[in-house]
Amino acid sequence: MSSVVADNSTVSPGQAPSRVHDAFEWVRSERIESLNLVIEEYRHRVTGAAHYHLAADIPENVFLVALRTVPMDSTGVAHILEHTALCGSKHYPVRDPFFMMIRRSLNTFMNAFTSSDWTAYPFASQNRKDFNNLMDVYLDAVFFSRLHELDFAQEGHRVEFAEMDNPDTELVFKGVVFNEMKGAMSSPASTLWQTLTKYLFPTTTYHYNSGGDPECIPDLAYEDLKAFYRTHYHPSNAVFMTFGDIPVFEHHARIHDKALSQFEKLDVHIAVGDEKRYHAPVYVQESYAFDEPGEVGDKTHLVMGWLLGPSINLKEQLEAQLLEGVLLDDSASPLRRALETTDLGSAPSPLCGLEASNREMSFVCGLEGSRPENTHAMEELVLDVLREVAEKGIEKSRIEAVLHQLELGQREISGDGYPYGLQLILEGLSCATHRGDPVGLMNLDPVLDELRELIQDPDYIPGLVRGLLLENCHRVHVTLVPDTALSARREAAEAERLAGMKAQMDDVQKQAVIAQAKALAERQSQEDDPSALPKVGLEDVPTEMHIASGEQEQVASLPLSFYPQGTNGLVYQQVVADLPQLDDELLDAFPGYSYSLAQLGCGGRDYLETQELQTSVSGGVNASSSMRGNVDDEQSLKGFFVLSGKALARNHAALGNLMRDTLESPRFDEYDRIRDLVAQHRAQCEQSVTGNGHGLAMLAASSGMSPGTALSHRLRGLAGIRSLKQLDDSFSDAGQVKVYADRLAALHESIRSAPRQFLLISEAERHAQVREELKQAWSSVQIDSSNHTPFVPGKVSARVREAWIANTQVNFCAKAYKTVPAEHPDAAALAVLPGFLRNGYLHRAIREQGGAYGGGASHDSDNAAFRFFSYRDPRLAETLDDFDHAVEWLLTEEHEWRLLEEAILGVISSIDKPASPAGEARDAFLCALHGRTPERRQAQRKRILDVTLDDLRRVGETYLRPEQASIAVVTSPASEGDCRTLGLDIQIL
């Protein structure tokens, strides 16, 4: 078979393409039926750079260039280099080409990543002109970076005096990556992973923190950065990967002409070596910073990690994934069941599972919410489970269910987070950088067929357990205990280090620090000439956005919406019920209800049997809600309960029955299970704070502006996390679990009797089949909605000034203003204004000058709220002031039309960004359900394209008034005094 590409040439498996660029050698082509694409492999003849092209009839093209980066310390050299390389290059000598191109592009994705052993620069676009523009800038940034010393000081680390030009004040560390990693390492899970890998990999690059340890980052010298660049950022050490419908010949012509033609082969072989093996298990205890008030007795993390074989061996990797699934896939899996139900901890560790991206794989399991003295008891618990599996084996149906999950994951077209093509590329990237075969890794069908034969042997899984785990002596046990004084000791050590540095400075060195700070400030204030960079303009924007369309019909006397989409053999089903009016107790139970419903028993089965069934016939069932203000009145809220599931088409009938049982007969009498689920939910929510602190702060700041924001803050925001912790703590009284379960049952009865409808998404040719299967599943269900009262929350209007104290070393700041809903004439200008303020003021003030990892603004038209935010921010009051200064800049400065065009492009790029086929259908359905019809969405898009500079000034002056601002910050206990000085109400998370 062949795949037709854009220039009408064909790429046939086993045969060279009709056109191959002279600079590249064709290696092979292989069609992957399950992905409906052809992978072509090439080598650049001179430099040896590898290129894998995924030829697919999809217009969202993806480019990625990756470099093998193997640091042997924790200074963060690869991470800081990733940042600094994007700060100007040979042919684009501007200070900030990366962020400038984000504004001058219709990209659907732009970023850069530092992994443990590679650094990658990916982007995606649906516009060919834009794609080529971005490739030119990316190639130049990677292979011809200027690496200016002041950019290293800004992005990596530097010292300044607290008062920039006053050498009598103390020294402080600054730098974007320095602050980013302070925020990242505030997460206990991140600290746990770094601690585990430090011992699991005693000699190779994974022993070190590739992102950078904040205590080690200041050890990195500028000359070290440049030396690392010269060897690691060379085409001979590069892997290129592309996806989409642009012919590979065009890629090769551009890659060669713009970059590779200017290099010779570099005789340096960068690779991760073989890891030293232990001959007996290793036991270590270390600490993590715990700054929350309260007892720390049950806050210890316990994990066990095994080092397995090489990840580039496809069969061995699939065997390890199969074993992971058998042991941990769901609550009926033996090891996950033991970890979920033991009294030794509150929940399974977030690290549980297989890590297959490193050169050698690792398998991890453990507990959080435990105590140090439980280390050996947890070890025995795990080993007992493994011994039992090794002795008694696993039911064949369980193993087949895990293989089913691997097949489903292979076939599903994703793309609701990262672009689909980028997800495929990232799945093969680690294998490619380790000089393995990413083509084989993407074409799982032959290996899955081999595994199906192997599992016929009842000793196959027991043999894997023995060989990979029980007889594997390279095992590390980490006991990570909370330490309430660790943050203070770190701060004292940092202050002592800085004081020592200052004490050794003479006047000349002090003046050099001041001179560098002034030079950096001057550089940051420079206005670059944007004409040095390529661009797209409003003339390149498509006339209309793509919106999936569906058909409305009836099934089992209920409304059905069917969306025909190219889903590659999967069917997606949703049951959508109108949200009923709920009292406060039932409303507060809604997050736990949504989290628990599909994880309980149903249909006469207990939860273990139900979990087994879910794994064997579906890709998962989950419950959620959808709440949005009306298009013309944010105070009028519409709410829906949504039960979602997906399955391979051959299993859709079974999925329908499972979803019916989930909604009609859940087991709220499984009290132990409910208690365990609350503990697991709490653990997940607590872990989210350091990663999503800016989102949580924005929710809190805008919580007084509409019923939607008030509910979001109450149910899934900071207030919701606090309530969940209190609920979990209340279960120390066993009787409270039954009280809560009864509340869930009452809530469920209200939802079950509400008016409902269905959504089905599949390929068009399956329409009749999936409709009939849905009818068979639901035809016997009777619904009495006569007593249904629609959900109508009260109106909300209040100003908020709050500081939430959490376990974090950095701040997340937010300021919010009341605005207007989607249909208001000012909504379009308010949608464009965030990008205008970010591009023109906030990025420089908050990230470059302030040192935060990120900052910006957004407008939530569903809830009529405009929000400023900062992310992993070393400052607090100064950032809140910068939000005000951004408004002053808007109102007092003269602005170029170019800045407006760039902001509009950003909004349109976000609106037009494609999702997965199923995601596009779900989005279209839910938007229509909330009154966002395709006609209204197209009209709003047109209004955005027509926004003027005068419109931006007008809405800024009208809505962003200082006296109307609400404030919320997420911060550390050390900042509590500063927050009180700002007049913020202290909230303890």
What tens digit of pLDDT does each residue of 678-718 get? 999 999 999 999 889 999 999 999 999 999 999 999 999 99
**Distance between CA atoms of 652 and 921, rounded to whole angstroms?**
18
Which residues of the chain are modeled with pLDDT < 50?
1-10
CA-to-CA distance for 478 and 472, rounded, in angstroms? 17
pLDDT at 157: 96
pLDDT at 6: 33
Sheet holding 570-578, edge to edge: 551-555, 558-564, 756-762, 570-578, 633-648, 621-630
SS3 content of the chain, % helix, strand, coil (to 5): 45, 20, 30
Burial label for 116, CB within 10 Å (0-12, 13-18, 19+), is: buried
Convert the pLDDT of each residue in 27-86 to its tens digit.
999 999 888 999 999 999 999 999 999 999 999 999 999 999 999 999 999 999 999 999
Integer Cα distance of 736 and 215 in angstroms: 45
Q: What is the pLDDT of residues 561-610, one digit of tens each?
A: 999 999 999 999 999 999 999 999 999 999 999 999 999 999 999 999 99
Residue type, 653: A
Taking only the tens place, the pLDDT of each residue in 635-682 is 999 999 999 999 999 999 999 999 999 999 999 999 999 999 999 999
pLDDT at site 689:
92
What does the pLDDT read at residue 711?
A: 97
pLDDT at 442: 87
Could you tell me which residues are beta bridge partners of residue 856? 869
User: Coil, helix or strand for 865?
Assistant: strand
CA–CA dist 641, 639 (Å, integer): 7
**pLDDT number for residue 12:** 58
Instruction: State the Cα–Cα distance between residues 551 and 687, nearest whole angstrom.
Output: 41
pTM score above 0.85: yes
| Residue 614 three-state SS | helix
- Selection from 252, 279, 922, 400 nearest residue 624 by Cα: 922
Structure tokens at 682: 């709490």
Does residue 640 contact residue 929 with C-beta atoms inside 8 Å?
A: yes
d(CA 347, CA 349): 6
**Phi, psi for 243 (deg, rounded to 5):** -145, 145
Could you give the domains of the chain? 3-156+220-262 (3.30.830.10), 551-778 (3.30.830.10), 801-988 (3.30.830.10)
Which spans in 505-643 are helix H?
507-525, 584-588, 590-596, 607-617
Token pair recorded at residue 208: 């070190």
List the one residue out of 231, 184, 190, 185 whose CA is nearest residue 77: 231
Q: Report d(CA 284, CA 199) in Å as an integer.
A: 8
> What pLDDT is recorded for position 10?
46
Check residue 5 and give its pLDDT: 31
**Residue 416: per-residue pLDDT:** 77
Alpha-carbon dihedral sign for residues 89, 91, 95, 100: negative
Q: Which of 77, 84, 49 is nearest to 65 (CA)?
A: 49
Residues 6+ apart with CB under 8 A from 355: 361, 362, 363, 364
According to the model, what pLDDT value does residue 14 have? 65
Q: Which amino acid is at 375?
A: T
CA distances, 48 to each of 42, 236, 256, 428 (Å): 9, 5, 12, 19
